[in-house]
Amino acid sequence: MKRQWRLVAVSVVLVVAVAIVGLFVLDVETSDPEPALFDDTVSMGLALEDERGLEEEVELPKAQVFYSQYEYVVGYYGLETFVTAQRSEGHTQQFGYPLTIYVSDYSATDIELNADGYPTVDNQPAWHDAEDAWYVSESDAVAPGGDTVMPFSDREDAHAFAETHDGIVLTWDELLEAEFETDEATAVRDRVDDQHREGDQRVEAATALRDRPVSTVVGEDTDTVQEALEEAPANTTVLVPDGEYEERLEIDRPLTLVGEGNVTIDGGDNGTVITATAERTAITGLEIVGSGSERLGDGDLPGDDPDSDDWDGTFEGNYAGGDAGIGVHSAPGALIEDVTVDDAPSGVILRRSGESVVRNVTIDSPDDLEDGHTGILAFRSPVVIEDSTVLDGRDAIYTHRSPDTIIRNNHLEENRLGVHLMHTSDSLLAENQVRNQSNTGIYIMTGPERNAIVDNVVQNADYALFPSGSSSYIAGNVLTDSHVGLRVDATDTLYERNVIAGNEIGAQTRAMLPTNQVTANDFIDNEIHAEAGTGPLRIWTDGESGNYWQGALPFPGDRSAETTVDRAYSPTAPIDQRLHRVDGTPTLSRAPGLEALSGFQGTVPGMRTGSIVDLAPTCEPNNPDLLEGTVWADRAWSCDRTSHEAQ
C-alpha cells in the first residue's frame, strides 16, 4: 500500500509538471525516513487540557505520518484519529499521500490499564511500521476522547491483550476500514439546546433562594446589616430597607440578603465589601461601592484554601484573592442578582463555587484599566452568567478552569477583553452583545475543547472572535468592524453560518493543521476577506456548498448551478482577493490561463500551501436573517452576475 501511495503521488505531480512547468517539484525518497521525536511533530487528537491532566505513566497510542505534500511530520494521538482524518473530505488535497507511517509498539512494554482505562507502561513504546503491526480495537482501553486502538508489533501480544481486555484484533487493512466516532464538533452543535435547558434549570434552582422567609429586618431587629447576618437562622432572608450602610459584610451560612428600595452597601475603600463562604447564599437588590483597590491578592483566601504549592494554586490565590464588590468562596449554588457594583477592581468573584448564577448584574469598572481586573470572575466555578452588563474594565468576564459554564445574553462594552476563557471546556457562550473592546471581543485560550460560541454580536475590536483549542462549534455570530473578524486557530472545529463583515481582515488562520470545517459563512465588505499563514492548503467547502465571498461572481449566463459560483475562489490569491474592491478584476479572473491554474490548484496536493480555497462558493449570502438590522441588510443579493456588478 505504501508503494501504491507513492506511485499515485508521483503520477499526479508529473501530470501537473507537464502543464505548469516549475510550479511544483516532489523529491521522492527511495527509503523510509527514521521516526521523528513525537514532540517534534505537528500533532493533533489531544487537547492541551487533556494532555496536562494525564498521569505521568500514561502512554497513549500514537501514529506519525510522513506525507508527500506536507513538509512537517504529522503526529496523531490515537490510531482512530488518523483513520478518520485520512478519509475526510479534502485530506489528500491538503496533505498529499501517506509515504511512511509509524505507530506505537506496545509489545515490548509491560502494558496495563489504570482505573480510568488509560494505558500505562514501564518503558517508552518503540515505533513500528504501521503496515506490519496488529491492532486491538473495541477493548477496555480509552484515551481522553473515548475508546482507543492499541497497536502491537507481535501478533501474539495483540491477541493476549484482546483476550484480557475484551477487544478484537485487526490487520492494518482492516483498521483502515473501521468506523470510529470522533466528530466532536458536530456533537457540540447538537447539544447547544440542551445546554440552554441546563442553564434554565440552574437559574430556576438558584432563583428559588429568593423565596426564603424573612427572619430579620435591619433597623427593626438589629442596628446593622452584619448583626442581622449573624443572628438570622440559616435558610432565611435578611431584609435591608432603603438607605446607605457603611459596612463590610461576611455571610458564613446559607442566607438570602435582599435590598428593599435603593440600598447601598459602602465598604469604606477597604477590602472586599461582601464576602460569602456558605453554600446557597443569595445576594439581591443592592448597590455596592467602596471596595479596596488591590487588584491581586496575597495568596490568603476565605473558605477552604487550595493546595497552593503548585503554580495553579498560587495563581488562584493571586487572581481570586483581590478586592471585589462581592467575593463568593467555596460557596456552591450561590445567586447574585439585581446587583450593581461601581468602581471595584473586580465586581463579582466566584471561587470554587460551582452551580452558581450571576444575573441582571451591572459592573462599572475603574476608569483606568490598570486599576481594574475582572468584572465577573469564575475560578474553578462552573456558573451561569446572564443578562448582565460590564463596562470599562480589563476583562469583562473571565473564567479559569470552570468547565460547563454558560455565558449568555450579556452586554459588554469598552473593556479590554469581553469574554476571556482560560482552561475552560464544554461551555456555552451565546447571544452576547460585545462592543468596542480595545483588544479582543471573545478570547478562548490555553487549549480547551468542546466549547460552543453561538449567536453573539461582536463589533469594533482588534480581534472580534479568537477561539483556540479543539473540537468546538462556532456558529451564528456576527463579527464586524474589527481589525480581524475571526481568528481560525482552533483545530477540529466547525465554523458555520457566521457573518464576517466590514473588517480589515475577515478571517485569519494560523493553524498548522487544516482540520477545521469552514462553511456557510458570509464574507462581506472586508478589506481582505481571509488570509492564511504557513501550512498546507485549507479547503473551506463542505460537499457541494462553501461560503459566500463578496466578489466571487458566476460567469455571464451561467445556470449550471442555482446557488453556487461556477469556479473555485481563493481569498488568498492575488486576483481573487481584489474582486470585491477593484474594478476590472472580475474580467481578469476569467482569463483562460488563470482559470486553468485555479483548476489545478484546487485539486492537486500541495499546489496552494499557505492558502485558502473554496471549491463551491455560494453566489448569495447564506445568512440573510443575520444581516437584518445591519448596514448590509438592503443589498440586492442575487445569483445573477449582472445584479452584483450593478451594485
The confidence score (pLDDT) of residue 154 equals: 96
Q: What's the average model confidence in pLDDT over 334-347?
A: 93
**Res. 644 pLDDT band, cuts 50 70 90:** very low
Q: Contact, 471 vs 47, CB < 8 A?
A: yes
**Res. 295 pLDDT band, cuts 50 70 90:** confident
* Greatest mean pLDDT range, 158-172, 541-555, 579-593: 158-172
Is residue 405 predicted with pLDDT exceeding 50?
yes
Tens digit of pLDDT for each residue in 411-425? 999 999 999 999 999
**Weakest mean pLDDT among 20-24, 460-464, 511-515, 579-583:** 20-24
Tens digit of pLDDT for each residue in 146-184? 899 999 999 999 999 999 999 999 999 999 999 887 667
The confidence score (pLDDT) of residue 375 equals: 94
The confidence score (pLDDT) of residue 71 equals: 80
Cβ-based neighbour number of residue 548 at 10 Å? 26
**Res. 592 pLDDT band, cuts 50 70 90:** low
The confidence score (pLDDT) of residue 645 equals: 45
Q: What totals of helices (H) and strands (E) does the chain contain, helices first?
A: 14, 49
**Res. 318 pLDDT band, cuts 50 70 90:** confident
Distance CA 343, CA 290 (A): 8
Residue 615 or residue 592, greater confidence: 615
The confidence score (pLDDT) of residue 634 equals: 79
**Res. 4 pLDDT band, cuts 50 70 90:** very low
Tens digit of pLDDT for each residue in 435-470? 999 999 999 998 898 999 999 999 999 999 999 988
The confidence score (pLDDT) of residue 58 equals: 92
* Greatest mean pLDDT range, 25-34, 398-407, 547-556: 398-407
Alpha helices in 253-394 (DSSP H): 311-320
Residue 560 or residue 19, greater confidence: 560
Amino acid of residue 535: G
Alpha helices in 36-98 (DSSP H): 48-53, 79-86, 91-95
Question: What is residue 132's DSSP assignment?
Answer: G
The confidence score (pLDDT) of residue 455 equals: 98
Residue 43 or residue 429, greater confidence: 429
The confidence score (pLDDT) of residue 306 equals: 56
**Weakest mean pLDDT among 117-121, 167-171, 556-560, 581-585:** 556-560
The confidence score (pLDDT) of residue 51 equals: 76
Tens digit of pLDDT for each residue in 56-71? 889 999 999 998 877 8
**Res. 556 pLDDT band, cuts 50 70 90:** low
β-pairing verdict for 440-445 and 417-422: parallel
Is residue 72 predicted with pLDDT exceeding 90?
no
The confidence score (pLDDT) of residue 266 equals: 96
Distance CA 548, CA 310 (A): 49
**Weakest mean pLDDT among 136-145, 425-434, 436-445:** 136-145
Distance CA 289, CA 326 (A): 10
Residue 603 or residue 171, greater confidence: 171
Is residue 214 predicted with pLDDT exceeding 80?
yes
Is residue 259 predicted with pLDDT exceeding 60?
yes
**Res. 588 pLDDT band, cuts 50 70 90:** low
Q: Single out the residue of 571, 532, 527, 531 nearest to residue 548, CA to CA.
A: 571
Backbone conformation region of residue 399, classed left if phi is above 0, alpha if psi is from -120 to 50, else beta: beta
Q: By 3-state DSSP, what share of the chain in percent is helix, strand and coil, each rounded to 5?
A: 20, 35, 45
Question: What is residue 405's DSSP assignment?
Answer: -
For residue 129, list its beta bridge partners.
102
The confidence score (pLDDT) of residue 28 equals: 44
Backbone conformation region of residue 311, classed left if phi is above 0, alpha if psi is from -120 to 50, else beta: alpha
The confidence score (pLDDT) of residue 315 equals: 74
C-alpha 475: how far from chain center? 11
Percent of the chain with pLDDT over 90: 61
Distance CA 165, CA 151 (A): 14
Is residue 605 predicted with pLDDT exceeding 50?
no
The confidence score (pLDDT) of residue 589 equals: 52
Tens digit of pLDDT for each residue in 78-134? 999 899 888 877 788 778 889 999 999 999 899 999 999 999 998 899 999 999 999
Q: pTM of the entire structure?
A: 0.84
Residue 479 or residue 11, greater confidence: 479
Is residue 526 predicted with pLDDT exceeding 90?
yes
Is residue 635 predicted with pLDDT exceeding 80?
no
Q: Which three cell numbers stand for residue 429?
A: 457562550
Distance CA 551, CA 132 (A): 51
